């Protein structure tokens, strides 16, 4: 079922988005919106909605083969280096 709301366009081309729609979409004051034209219809989305829709659709250029073991080794190496710097024991 559709809920229909109306708004008047000002001479500056501005229109107020009705409160129930703002609440449903989570639109806050100052938030940027995306307007998508679909034939004779317009779809309004927040930037957050657009990012969520696009998330994962782009393939990363770099493939990282990093295991937990490698990550832990890197952390250990970093912490050891910081410890030695802090205690004045450098090569």
CA distance 61 to 63: 7
Q: What is the pLDDT of residues 25-79, one digit of tens each?
A: 889 999 888 898 989 998 888 877 777 777 777 666 776 677 778 887 888 888 8
**What is the sign, positive or negative, of the torsion defined by CA atoms of 8, 11, 13, 16?**
negative
Does 1 have pLDDT greater than 80?
Answer: no
pLDDT (mean) for 16-33 = 90
CA distance 82 to 89: 10
How does residue 89 score in pLDDT terms, banded at 50, 70 and 90? low
């Amino acid at each position: 079922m559709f809920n229909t709301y109306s708004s008047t366009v000002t001479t500056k081309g501005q229109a107020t988005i009705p409160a129930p729609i703002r609440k449903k979409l989570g639109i806050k004051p100052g938030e940027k919106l995306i307007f998508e034209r679909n034939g004779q219809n317009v779809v309004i989305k927040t930037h957050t909605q657009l990012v969520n829709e696009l998330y994962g659709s782009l393939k990363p250029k770099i493939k990282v083969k990093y295991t937990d073991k490698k990550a832990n080794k890197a952390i250990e190496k970093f912490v050891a280096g910081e410890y030695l710097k802090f205690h004045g024991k450098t090569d």
